[in-house]
Structure 1
Amino acid sequence: MDFSVDNVSEFIFSLAGQEQWQEEVEVLVDEEAVPAHQLVVYNDEVNTFEYVTLTLMEVCEHSPEQAEQCTLMIHFRGRCGVKSGEFDTLVSMRNEICRRGISAEIESFES
């Protein structure tokens, strides 16, 4: 038997039934994790570019390039979402950034 994408799909549908297959696909899409929060760092007139860049590398595990790009956005736009993820994961990062004298908050994504 020649196996192509169409043949495999027909075979799967014949084994599982089309309704059951669609239900499984819907469940997989529903379980896809989408971060609901972001860690936002704000600009100030106190901290240097180098200090903010180093902080993002150490606390958020950014690459030097990523940290530098975020620092530039913080400077020119006044803020930058530096990390997305679950609230509990971001709390410790926010606390450490604030402990270092940099203003940061966790914001929820709007649905």
Structure 2
Amino acid sequence: MMSVQEEVLEEVKTKERVNKQNQIIVFNDDVNTFDHVIDMLIATCDHDPIQAEQCTMLIHYKGKCEVKTGDYDDLKPRCSKLLDAGISAEIQ
């Protein structure tokens, strides 16, 4: 039998798993231009131009950037469009 403290801890862990949002991560490569990545972030992730440019700089200098968070069902087609455009991306 679990203690009250163990039950509360288990409930918190369960809520964290349920509420956890997925994210699209875009990775740096030596192929795509800044303009192409910026244009694709605007088109697929609903970024404004400044946000897309900032994410692209982070991708370039840090090697990757979280570009969109949300439900998996929303992110899946967005990530597919990025991949189809030759951009290295994954949902985590």
TM-score (norm 1): 0.65
Question: 2:83 corresponds to which letter in structure 1?
Answer: C
Structure 1 position 57, deviation (Å): 0.3
Tell me, yes or no, if structure 1 residue 101 matches structure 2 residue 89: no
Partner of 2:66: 81
Three-state SS of the structure 2 residue aligned to 1:41 is: strand
Structure 1 unmatched ranges of 5 or more: 1-29
Partner of 1:36: 21
Structure 1 position 35, deviation (Å): 5.0
Structure 2 unmatched ranges of 5 or more: 1-14
Partner of 1:59: 44
Structure 1 position 36, deviation (Å): 1.5
Identity %: 45
The alignment's C-alpha RMSD in Å is 1.4
Cα distance between partner residues in 2 of 1:60 and 1:35: 19
Residue by residue over 1:68-97, the C-alpha shift from the partner in whole angstroms, topping out at 9 and shown as x without a partner, is 000000000000000000011000000000
Q: Which has the larger radius of gyration?
A: 1
How many residues get paired? 76
Cα distance between partner residues in 2 of 1:61 and 1:52: 13
